[in-house]
Amino acid sequence: NAGVMQNPRHLVRRRGQEARLRCSPVKGHSHVYWYRQLPEEGLKFMVYLQKENIIDESGMPKERFSAEFPKEGPSILRIQQVVRGDSAAYFCASSLDRRVGTEAFFGQGTRLTVV
């Protein structure tokens, strides 16, 4: 389960800057999910990606947020023109199989602080 790597672990950005969060899934996993966790709240689904495809982005804010999972390299969650309300922990998870019931393994998260 140590295979999902997220970086950076902590990220501080000033309002208006861009934040780029990276996630390398478990080797061999082609399904990646991003979640946002606000203080004292649960995990809120943002986006589900497979290699080079966005499968479900129903949890993504319509503006400023984007995600990609290129053929080579990690998945990237990009937040443009960050605002204080974007401060949260962002987790990615990966799974071998898309089916519910197949365990998704989480990374340790990136804690974004917007000052």
Partner 1 sequence: GENVEQHPSTLSVQEGDSAVIKCTYSDSASNYFPWYKQELGKRPQLIIDIRSNVGEKKDQRIAVTLNKTAKHFSLHITETQPEDSAVYFCAASIAGMINSYDKVIFGPGTSLSVIP
Least spacing, CB of residue 15 vs partner 1, in Å: 25
Give the list of residues 6+ apart from residue 79 with CB closer than 8 angstroms, or none: 18, 19, 21, 64, 65, 86, 112
**Total residues in contact with partner 1, by rule CB under 8 A:** 31
Q: Of 16-24, 50-58, 61-69, 76-84, which part binds partner 1 (CB under 8 A)?
A: 50-58
Positions in 18-37 near partner 1 (CB under 8 A)? 31, 33, 35
Least spacing, CB of residue 29 vs partner 1, in Å: 11
Q: Of 17-25, 61-69, 74-82, 89-97, which part binds partner 1 (CB under 8 A)?
A: 89-97
Cβ burial 43-67 (10 Å sphere, 16+ → b, else e): eeebbbbeeeeeeebeebeeeebeb
